[in-house]
Amino acid sequence: MTDTSKPAAKARAISGFPEYIPEIRRAEMRWIDTIRETFERYGYVNIETPSVEEVETLAAKGGDVDKEIYGLQRLNAEGDDKGVRLALHFDLTVPTARYVAQHFNDLTFPFKRYQIQRVWRGERPQEGRFREFLQCDVDVIDQDGISHDFDAEIPLIAMQALNAVGAGPIRFMLNNRKILIGFYQGLGIENAADVIRVVDKIDKLPASEIERILTGELSLPADTAKACLALAQIRSTDNAFADEARKLGVDNALFEEGLAELTTVMNRLNAADKGACVAEANLGIARGLDYYTGVVYEAQLIDYPEYSTICAGGRYADLVGAYIKRDLPGVGISIGLTRLFAKLVKEGVITGERASPTDVLIARFPENDVLELDGIANALRTRGVNVEVYHEAAKLKNQFRYAERKAIPYLWFAGDRHEVKDLGAGEQTAADPATWLPARLKG
Amino acid sequence: MTDTSKPAAKARAISGFPEYIPEIRRAEMRWIDTIRETFERYGYVNIETPSVEEVETLAAKGGDVDKEIYGLQRLNAEGDDKGVRLALHFDLTVPTARYVAQHFNDLTFPFKRYQIQRVWRGERPQEGRFREFLQCDVDVIDQDGISHDFDAEIPLIAMQALNAVGAGPIRFMLNNRKILIGFYQGLGIENAADVIRVVDKIDKLPASEIERILTGELSLPADTAKACLALAQIRSTDNAFADEARKLGVDNALFEEGLAELTTVMNRLNAADKGACVAEANLGIARGLDYYTGVVYEAQLIDYPEYSTICAGGRYADLVGAYIKRDLPGVGISIGLTRLFAKLVKEGVITGERASPTDVLIARFPENDVLELDGIANALRTRGVNVEVYHEAAKLKNQFRYAERKAIPYLWFAGDRHEVKDLGAGEQTAADPATWLPARLKG
């Protein structure tokens, strides 16, 4: 019945806030479950924090992130209440820092945690950029010092998770900030942080342009700029990177320390089964943030080299910053789940699953007693079978069509002798409600 | 090393935004997984919607909800951008209505969906009221008409879910708006909606006070008010409620229709295994919202009768309202997961689980090759075992203490002959990395 008195108001998607039909959402859920399972396989425990932090907590990280922060404002707030004191978090690092400081005495260190939550950024949406998106973070945080084991374990966990969901070939690029900073020190460069920010653009700008900025804006001598550029162009999937870097003739202890650390990490990654992931030492990646102090990671889809980074992280000397009177160093990585998943949906790599979890539909005809059908359904459910009883006595044709649309694999006919039709194979056989299982639950 | 130069800034919880230590969060995750599993057992499919809707979408529901809505405001917005166009959703019903209208052609009806998401309300926090909380909604929505089967199925699913998590004895109170409206019509009451809102307070106000409002503010004759009150006081766990209601002498077809519908629902619930849940026909519950048109549900913790409703729902004639030019009726229920879970944590009913998913810790000593320990760990992980390799060669005492603090049940000693110590039983036995399983994964 069409009610023409009702205005068909718009029901539209909001740009930058992804939403999926059930087929795609089921695939996304499977991804999340699998990632979670992988993180737990390595002994990491889940935490969740509120979506909201105080504005001053979020701002504590500095930089110009405030432009991207969504503050909260009660729509009918009045007077003193009009100030924006709370805001949605824009990453999971700041909330984790606050969490670790707040619950410090309840945690065991090294604290191995993962966190899978939505985060928000008030940016202009474009391909690969969302205003609301899921991040999957895995970090280990310790007191005072932290084992270098985790430099390799953290990207390995991310690789295992990405392999387990079938995210396809992914290149993990690794570097160590000590290599860069030591190299720049060895060359007598004083504004190392500025140089890092410029060199980090090596995949986005042509080499000549990087060189122009280094000699121009940053006033480096031409041969120094050339050396920085040469370092940034070194990459290898084995340990050749270290000798190549040493050939540039810089003598610096921090530089050597960084090369040794990265060599250890590459050895450990190359001893592991990395599935569809590739580990590449890449002295051109730097991660813009000053936050990182050792190894850094950045991963991209090999089949979509123009697409933005889908996973990134590194080692930091102090997570918790101003919240607590001691240093809490850590190593962590973040998988940009929405960014990655949405791309693979868009490219048709992820096509979705069937729109229903139902294993079997119990057919219903006028002669059936619904309480009896409920009894069969409950007997099956006890063994983990997902069951629907058709919601009314109807023609077989209609019940078939319903099962077909939802891709339900089995149709159950109740009677003195129960029968189940396998709708894929077309076979119909006798079945006992006390023992029957669908293929999904067999061995 | 304590860094005295750092100010220990506050890292504090924000009132109304719950956050748990890992032990409690693990219990919450198990709850969510179990509820999800139960919903799928009945063939319901998961959807998620953005946390954010347009303000006009949220306001379309009417009423004075706008006071509770958190609008979003980019912190550095300027000029035209300063208007609040987006807001956090305050329930999952409005987003589902928008979702169904928007994806109408991609859905199969009756559309059986569940949704487990955070919602936000800018209210003053108090016991049982949060500003950010998890709702678990399960609804079935059909076109034009919808089977009365779901009137019983929906509360049954909620009961099964609450039993499965062990939420303890819960009273489900059921009524039917047709009973109330038909009764009031039969008594010649014209402002039925106002009477419903007053009678709905029967559990909060004394009967004499309700009667005073009915005869005073609502100008009902004294005997009419008495009849309304008498109806509202009827409750039974069997079908006695119907005869008791009929004894009040009102003759009305809608009233009889409501009694018949509720009788059918009670029969079906009483034929099912309801575990620790009780089903009670309670003609005093009304649900304030005009939205409901048939059966209504409200559930409370039997052990905490003063605590607020932890689960509620009912049948509605039209979900989608202004978005689409046809009626989409439905039946649904919402479990207030945070409200329920937080109460049971507070009362010590939920005490949390161990702070780690790790099954076995692989001990590490100076003589061990870490790549070899990694190999053992990975062999175990392949079979679903959650494994940590201790992060440094250390004294056995330290590694024991770490396992103890995290309540890790097994400690693995690598060697020519591998041994596993069951830290609970204290027994140490030989073990093969290719076959060993912890008790958790055995049969």
Please give the residue of chain A at the shortest CA–CA distance from B106: A21
Q: Is A407 on the interface with B (CB under 8 A)?
A: no
- Flag whether residue B125 sits within 8 Å of chain A, measured between CB atoms: no
What contacts B148, CB < 8 A, 6 or more positions away? B261, B264, B265
Assess whether A28 and A156 both reside in one domain.
yes
Residue A1 is assigned to a structural domain of this protein: no
Residue A204 lies in a domain: yes
**Which of chain A's residues have a Cβ under 8 Å away from the Cβ of B392?**
147, 149
Q: Quick one: what percent of chain B has pLDDT higher than 70?
A: 94
Contact between chains at A22 and B107 (C-beta distance less than 8 A): yes
Per-residue model confidence (pLDDT) at position A4: 46
Chain A residues with CB-CB distance to B325 below 8 A: 2-4, 6, 8
User: Tens of pLDDT along B207-230?
Assistant: 899 999 999 999 999 999 999 999
Q: Which residues, numbered 225 to 244 in chain B, qualify as contacts with chain A under a Cβ-Cβ cut-off of 8 Å?
A: none
- Judge whether B3 lies within some domain: no
User: Is the Cβ of B430 closer than 8 Å to some Cβ of chain A?
Assistant: no
Indicate whether A215 belongs to any domain.
yes
Average pLDDT of span B356-380: 96
Task: Give the H/E segment covering residue B271.
Answer: helix B253-271
Higher pLDDT, A61 or B30: B30
The reply to whether A5 falls in a domain is no
One domain, residues A64 and A133: yes
Cα–Cα dist A268/A152, whole Å:
6
Query: Among B167, B139, B179, which Cα is nearest to B261's?
Result: B179
User: Predicted confidence band at B59 (pLDDT cuts at 50, 70, 90)?
Assistant: confident
Q: Note whether A47 contacts B55, CB cutoff 8 Å.
A: no
Select from A302, A318, A333 the last residue of a domain: A302
Q: Are residues A314 and A400 in the same domain?
A: no
Q: Which of helix, strand or coil describes residue B370?
A: helix
Cβ(A408)–Cβ(A423) below 8 Å: yes
A5 vs B16, more confident: B16
Question: Of all helices (H) and strands (E), which one includes residue A399?
Answer: helix A396-405
Q: Quick check: A285 and A294 in contact, CB under 8 A?
A: no
CA distance B273 to B276: 9
Closest CA to B307 of B351, B347, B348: B347
A51-89 core/surface letters (b: 16 or more CB in 10 A; e: else): bbbebebbbbbeeebbebbbbbbbbebeeeeeeeebbbb
- Among residues 29-58 of chain A, which lie with CB inside 8 Å of chain B? 29, 40-55, 57
Contacts of B430 (CB under 8 A, 6+ apart): B417, B418, B419, B420
Q: Distance between CA atoms of A328 and A324, rounded to whole angstroms?
A: 9
> Closest to A391 (Cβ–Cβ): which among B55, B149, B384?
B149
Closest CA to B43 of A362, A285, A193, A268: A362
Compute the distance between CA of residue A412 and CA of residue B217 in angstroms, rounded to an integer. 57
Q: What is the pLDDT of residue A2?
A: 44
**Do B156 and B282 lie in a common domain?**
no
Q: Which chain B residues touch A150 with a CB distance below 8 Å?
A: 391
State the average pLDDT for chain B.
92
Q: Does B206 touch chain A (CB under 8 A)?
A: no
Quote the CA–CA distance of A214 and B51 in Å, as a whole number.
44
Contact A328, A143 (CB under 8 A): yes
With CA atoms as reference, report the closest residue to A152 among B378, B218, B155: B378
How far from A105 is each of A38, A111, A273, B319, B397, CA to CA, in Å?
A: 27, 11, 37, 48, 21
Assess if residue B1 is contained within a domain: no
The 10s digit of each residue's pLDDT in B326-362 is 889 999 999 999 999 999 999 999 998 999 999 999 9
Q: Which two tokens stand for residue A22?
A: 């059930």
Average pLDDT estimate for B230-252 = 96
d(CA A196, CA A288): 7
Chain segment B377-429, per-residue pLDDT in tens: 999 999 999 999 999 999 999 999 999 999 999 999 999 999 999 999 999 99
The per-type count for chain A, helices as H runs and strands as E runs, is 13, 17
Per-10-residue mean pLDDT, chain A, length 443: 51 90 97 98 98 87 66 81 86 93 94 98 89 97 93 98 96 97 94 87 88 93 95 96 97 98 96 96 84 94 95 90 80 98 97 95 96 95 97 96 96 96 96 96 86
Q: Would you call B414 exposed, middle or buried from its count of C-beta atoms within 10 A (0-12, 13-18, 19+)?
A: buried
| Number of domains present in the structure of chain A | 3
A387 with B323: Cβ contact below 8 A: no
Query: At A248, which amino acid appears?
Result: L
The token pair at B408 is: 């890790």
CA B300 to CA B312: how far, in whole Å?
9
Q: Give pLDDT, residue B322.
A: 66
Q: Do A42 and B388 touch (CB under 8 A)?
A: yes
Domain CATH code at residue A370: 3.40.50.800
Q: Taking Cα atoms as reference points, which of A28, A118, A8, A25 lies closest to residue B88?
A: A118
Residue A318 bridge partners (DSSP):
none
Angle at which helices A222-232 and A192-199 cross, to 10°: 50
Do residues A162 and A173 share a domain?
Answer: no
Say what the ipTM of the complex is.
0.94
Q: Is A2 domain-assigned?
A: no
Q: Coil, strand, or helix at residue B235?
A: strand
CA–centroid distance for B135 within its chain: 4
Q: pLDDT tens-digit profile of B152-195?
A: 999 999 999 999 999 989 999 999 999 999 999 999 998 888 89
CATH number at residue B330: 3.30.930.10
Residue B405 domain boundaries: 360-441
Find chain B residues with C-beta within 8 A of A323's C-beta: 8-11
Query: Measured between CB atoms, which of B72, B108, B358 is closest to A405?
Result: B108
β-pairing, B86-88 with B52-54? antiparallel
Residues 141-180 of A with CB under 8 A from B: 144, 147, 149-150
Decide if A323 and B48 are in contact by the 8 Å CB cutoff.
no
Contacts of A402 (CB under 8 A, 6+ apart): A361, A390, A408, B108
Same domain, B159 and B177: no
For B142-188, what is the HEC assignment?
Answer: CCCCCCCHHHHHHHHHHHHHHHHHCCCCEEEEEEEHHHHHHHHHHCC
Cα separation, B127 vs B306, in Å, equals 11
What is the nearest CA distance from A327 to chain B, expressed in angstroms?
7
Q: Which pair of tokens denotes residue B67?
A: 């006071």
Determine which helix (DSSP H) or strand (DSSP E) holds B256, and give its type and residue range. Answer: helix B253-271
pLDDT higher than 90, residue B288: no
Q: What count of other Cβ atoms lies within 10 Å of the Cβ of residue A355? A: 21
Phi, psi of A160 (to 5 degrees): -60, -40
Q: Is A352 on the interface with B (CB under 8 A)?
A: no
Question: Is B426's Cβ below 8 Å from some Cβ in A?
Answer: no
Tell whether B6 is covered by a domain.
Answer: no
pLDDT of residue B418: 97
* Boundary (domain end) residue, out of B302, B330, B345: B302
Two tokens at B216?
A: 């005073």
Q: Region B317-327: what's the mean pLDDT?
A: 77
For residues A321, A336, A66, A132, the Cα torsion angle rounded to the nearest 10 degrees is -130
Three-state SS at A87: strand
Classify residue A13 by its DSSP letter.
Answer: P
* CA–CA–CA angle A121, A127, A130 (5° rounding): 20
Question: Is residue B107 scored above 90 in pLDDT?
Answer: yes
CB atoms within 10 A of CB A172: 23
Structure tokens at B387: 């494994």
Which of residues B353, B386, B415 is at a domain's end?
B353
Given an 8 Å threshold on Cβ–Cβ distance, is B392 in contact with A98?
no
Asked whether residue B137 falls in the same domain as residue B112, the answer is: yes
| Residue A307 near residue A318, CB atoms below 8 Å | no
Whether B185 and B247 share a structural domain: yes
Q: Does A257 touch chain B (CB under 8 A)?
A: no
A169, A276 in Cβ contact below 8 A? Answer: yes
Q: Do A87 and B101 touch (CB under 8 A)?
A: no
Three-class HEC string of A288-355? CCCCEEEEEEEEEECCCCCCCCCEEEEEECCCCHHHCCECCCEEEEEEEHHHHHHHHHHCCCCCCCCC
Residue type for position B429: T
Q: Are residues B370 and B347 in the same domain?
A: no
User: Cβ–Cβ contacts within 10 Å for residue B441, how many?
Assistant: 12
**Same domain as A341, residue A270:** no
Q: Look at residue A367 in the predicted model and tell me its pLDDT.
A: 94
Rounded CA-CA distance B363/A423 in Å is: 52
Contact B233, B202 (CB under 8 A): yes
What gap in Å lies between CA B126 and CA B118, rounded to an integer? 18
Q: What is the pLDDT at residue B1?
A: 41
φ, ψ of residue B93 to 5 degrees: the values are -75, -50
A401 touches chain B (CB under 8 A): no
Burial (CB count <10 Å: 0-12, 13-18, 19+), residue B365: middle
Query: Look-up: residue for tokens 């097994």?
Result: B410
Residue type, A50: P
- Same domain for A51 and A178, yes or no, is no
Which residue of B lies nearest to A103 if distances are taken between CA atoms? B21
Structural contact between residues B142 and B331, judged by C-beta atoms closer than 8 angstroms = no
DSSP string, A140-158: EE-SS---THHHHHHHHHH
Residues of A in contact with B120 (CB under 8 A): 51
In this structure, the answer to whether residues B44 and B56 fall within a common structural domain is yes
